[in-house]
Amino acid sequence: MPSSRRPTSPRRKKRSSKPRIVLLSIVTFIVLVMIGLVIFVGIAAIGTPKWDPSLLHDQKQTSFLYDKDNVQYASLHGVENRQAVISSNIPDLVKKTFVAVEDKRFYQHFGVDPIRIIGSALNDIRSGSAKEGASTITIQLARNAFIDNPTAKTFTRKIQEAILAIQLEHEYTKDEILTFYLNKIFLGESSFGIQAAARTYFGEDIKNLKPDQVALLAGLPQAPSQYNPYIHPDAAKNRRTIVLGVMRDAGIITTQEYNTYKDTPFDYVNTMKKTLGGAQKTTLSNASYKYPYFTDYVIEELESTYNLTPDQIYSGGLRIYTTVNPKVQDAAEAAFADSANFPKGIDSTKVQGAITVVEPSTGSIQAMVGGRDYTTRGLNRAWQSPRPPGSTIKPLVVYGPAIEKGGYFPGTVLDDMPVSYNQGNGKAWTPTDFDTIDKGWKGLITMRYALEDSVNVYAVKLLDLIGVDYGWKFGKDKLGLPLEDSARNLTLALGTPNISTLQMAAAYGVYANNGVSVTSHAIVKVEDAKGNTVTPKITKNRVMKETTAYIINDMLRSVVTDGTAYSAQIGNWAIAGKTGTTSLDPNIYGNRTGNPDAWFAGYTPNYAGVVWMGYDSDPDRQHYLRSVYGGSYPAQIWKKVMTAALQDLPVQSKFTIPPGIISGSYDTKSGLLPSSLTPSTFISTEIAAQGDFPTRVSDVWIQKQVDADHPNKLANPNSANTLTKTFLNLPNRNPSWIWPQREAPYKPPTETASDPVTTPPASDPVTGLDPTIPPPTSGLPEIDPTLPSPTLGRINYTAKTYTAVIPMTVPKENMGDSTIFYLQRTGQTTIESFPIAASNSASTSISISLGENGKPPIPGDYIFWAAFKNRNGSGIGPLSGSVKLTLTD
């Protein structure tokens, strides 16, 4: 039977369309993303803080502070000092400027500005960062009023802020929102609200503000601490200029007004800094809290690092766990309260000071005192008053970098003799040694000696050798010093930049911590009223070799045991330290002696502390330190504080020696290996990093034949008696320079002894008179030819007391006349004088000590003359013949 089904032809197999699959996948992905986004937004919206209009006004809770052992030591209470103003009292200039700067589409959007969001996103994509902000004024108000942790940057929080901003726009008019914002915004220096800020920065009511003043305030919300004119006047001025430009472009001010106001000085700010040391705070705590200078710094850290407003700090119910060490802080405050630790001022103005102590291993600030008389949130000199640190900067930008760079070690020798540099301004700069223990040029000295004695010329020469850029970058990048480009020159070696005690303590702490830098901080963590915790970001970085840190530790240990910081010793503790002073500008003070600043920086393996001392300012050129040095009062304060800090700790008598440190003998006059000619007195032992100890043999010594009867003259071919003596060969040293006392015996003679065949002996064997030595002709009083000359005899010398006894015969008619003796020491061109009272005898003996500062005289020739002094006038008689005393080793 035939089938009823119609025959079918073969069907073509369908092919899947790849474009359709891709399109379907994209659509599916977008739908899923949108569903996920809706869910996420919904969850975020559920967590949005409850709408509470009362939060737009103050609700205050006490905040508490805790020390390093979690013991509460202070509480902060907010006070009603907001100085709110109603809308009608806020000038249009203020309103228009803040809108132009913070939210130019404020009057067009509904609380959230989609156009601004898209523009910020595109800019972030172009720059590859997330720096652009899209917060409207309404969002900023919502954040500060309703969000518990306004500094948290999360997508959830952004959604919640947007929801609250829309709610604000629904409940209030634009003018009401702007007024709330201007009364609540934080503008630095503990002032929040436009009226409080106007008082803080200008001492004015808001209605009296000029365009430049409004511009400054409108520029502050972006970064209140960074643009604070009390602390960063240059940054504040630059920011103000930008805002004035916005005001000009928006038609709020004219171009002429822009040009008039862009360079206006901060007169009120400068006056407040001079009279009160800083701003008069408008938002204060109603409690007199403990450790005020330290606590003020904690508040500053909360504002600048944690971005908290004074509202949150004083009234947010925070628990602030700090690093303060009560034992150290109490000792620091006691030291600053004791007037005996400070020099007496010239009038009622006190010599001020500051101290900061850090724990290098953790970066925690243990103690801080910023002055002798605390005023609430006033000037904290420990971090707000940077000053030139003088020689305390040398280990940070000269010696440390040299050791780190390689090729140098504590025995590296440079010549401490006059030098001049062209600083690029067409004028020569000649560094001098003005604050060393021993005055005068030192000659060939080692790095260790230069550091111990704080020799300026050595430090400048070494910085020149390693390169100014290298030393500058080492101090700035590795040790965190705030070095500006203007400090990138050789004067950096003498401590000309302005640095605070906090920054110096942190920098020295890197050496104490064996070359590891740790972020300095005063806060361990912050808990809000709901238990949310924020901790600081502490970084640890090795910034130099361990061997570098150890060698600096070892050399600075010598500064304390044998150098300018001798007074800072504490028992058997390993103390490393450096003193520093700054000098008066001769262009201002002329030839006066004194110091604007005195510093002491010292550390143990446990703590690093830095003390500064000086006047805040010197308006009359009289307020500077007199006979105050880093090793005196500053070291005294440091020692008292550190003695308390180290109490009950196990004594550490040395710094830990890392691998890679070697030692060996070297020549202290060349910094090389001793040669066969190196005198034993100039051979010493020194340490170095492996690879940096010298391998060349010293080449600064030579031997010459001298006349035995005249050891300061080269031997004549006919000399009957000759000696072989060792001398320093320094052909590059200026022949006109007088050699330092310790090197003078090793200065090669330039004269040759007279031929003994044709020349009679110089000195009479009986009288000791040497007719070949001419008498001095300059620097003497007027000669009175009516007086006779004294007659001198052979000198007797007592080596034990360094005393020369010179016989003298006096004519009968001159027995009542006083005598003046003259002495020329070996290697010197200057003539010393010694007035001697009348002997009333025909013969007498005069005793003159040749020792200096308790040290024996150096070998060589000592020449004496004498003359009678006219009893009726100021003249003297003719000089006697010369007598010579020759001292040998």
Active site residue ranges: 102, 391
Separate counts of helices (H) and strands (E) for the chain: 24, 29
How far apart CA 144 and CA 56 sit, in angstroms, is 9
502, 398 contact by CB (below 8 A):
no
φ, ψ of residue 636 in degrees (nearest 5): -65, -45
φ, ψ of residue 248 in degrees (nearest 5): -65, -45
497, 481 contact by CB (below 8 A):
yes
CA distances from 400 to 80, 357, 377 (A): 52, 21, 36
Q: Could you give the 3-state DSSP secondary structure of residue 236?
A: helix
CA distances from 859 to 163, 270, 825 (A): 92, 61, 10
How far apart CA 179 and CA 141 sit, in angstroms, is 10
* Residue spans of alpha helices (H) in 580-711: 586-589, 633-646
- Computed over its alpha carbons, how large is the radius of gyration of the chain? 39
How far apart CA 39 and CA 526 sit, in angstroms, is 32
| Residues sharing a CB contact under 8 Å with residue 595, sequence separation 6 or more, in sequence order | 435, 581, 582, 583, 584, 614, 624, 625, 626, 628, 629
Closest-CA residue to 877 (of 819, 830, 807) = 819
How far apart CA 782 and CA 875 sit, in angstroms, is 5
Residue 860: strand pairing partners: 887
181, 90 contact by CB (below 8 A):
no
Q: What is the dihedral of CA 734, 737, 743, 748, to 10 degrees?
A: 60
HEC-encoded secondary structure of 434-501: CCCCCCCCCEEEEHHHHHHHCCHHHHHHHHHHHCHHHHHHHHHHHCCCCCCHHHCCHHHHHCCCCECH
Using DSSP bridges, classify how beta strands 883-887 and 860-868 pair: parallel, antiparallel or unpaired: antiparallel
- What's at 269, amino acid-wise? V
Residue 843: strand pairing partners: 809
How far apart CA 483 and CA 477 sit, in angstroms, is 9
How far apart CA 715 and CA 482 sit, in angstroms, is 60
Residue 399 is classified by DSSP as I
How far apart CA 660 and CA 886 sit, in angstroms, is 49
Q: Could you give the 3-state DSSP secondary structure of residue 153?
A: coil
How far apart CA 255 and CA 245 sit, in angstroms, is 9
The structure tokens listed for 677 are 């000619």
How many CB atoms are closer than 10 A to CB 57?
12
380, 355 contact by CB (below 8 A):
no
Closest-CA residue to 451 (of 399, 405, 402) = 399
How many CB atoms are closer than 10 A to CB 706?
23
161, 140 contact by CB (below 8 A):
no
Closest-CA residue to 240 (of 227, 249, 221, 226) = 227
φ, ψ of residue 427 in degrees (nearest 5): -115, 140
Closest-CA residue to 393 (of 484, 475, 506, 489) = 475
